[in-house]
Amino acid sequence: MDKLRHEDLYTLEAYEKHRAEFRERVLEHKQHRRLYLGENMVLLFEDRLTMQYQVQEMLRIEKIFTEAGIAEELGVYNPLIPDGSNWKATMMIEYPDVDERRAALAQLLGIEDRVWAQADGIDRVYAIADEDLDRSTDVKTSSVHFLRFELPVEAVQALKAGASLAFGVDHAQYECQAEIDEAMRESLVADLA
């Protein structure tokens, strides 16, 4: 999938004009890229469109319009765009109660390394977590992680041929599995070269 370039972005003025329409399109697109794993975890699968929205919003909020500032934002967000053989996802662990969340994050240490994807008939692929920096400590995991699911060629071929797809977590304190619907499967398969 192509990375974003400066020329792909709206200017601040143009974005302000098109923001409502663009935002609506992105939110609709994201509906097929959000996966709940159990009651307290969600994976948000990123792609070029979701990252363009993120960059546009950051430029707008921070009022960034210089070449260097835009290049810096692209440098931050372009690595989250899939490369054709993988999916990239933001993983969020969500507990509404602060004390419950604090206790859960301590119990879920290492969970980011136990999230998997599986095309029917192919071995599970475990996510590679937080390649940019470590987000966990010795006593707790973070509530946000960035994951990359690097798929073997046979998984890509199976998915393109229509294989079903499941995701799950096999952490001692949090186990779950979810088979995804066809709309999400199609959206994710579109990320693969």
pLDDT grade for 1, boundaries at 50, 70 and 90:
confident
Backbone angles phi, psi at 86, to 5 degrees: -150, 170
Give the pLDDT confidence of 99-156 residue by residue, as tens digits: 999 999 999 999 999 999 999 999 999 999 988 777 888 889 999 999 999 999 999 9
Per-residue model confidence (pLDDT) at position 121: 95
From the DSSP assignment, how many helices (H) and strands (E) are in the chain? 6, 9
| Cβ–Cβ under 8 Å, residues 58 and 73 | yes
Give the pLDDT confidence of 152-190 residue by residue, as tens digits: 999 999 999 999 999 999 999 999 999 899 999 999 999
Computed over every residue of the chain, the mean pLDDT equals 95
In this prediction, residues 22-34 reach a mean pLDDT of: 96
The answer to pTM > 0.85 is yes
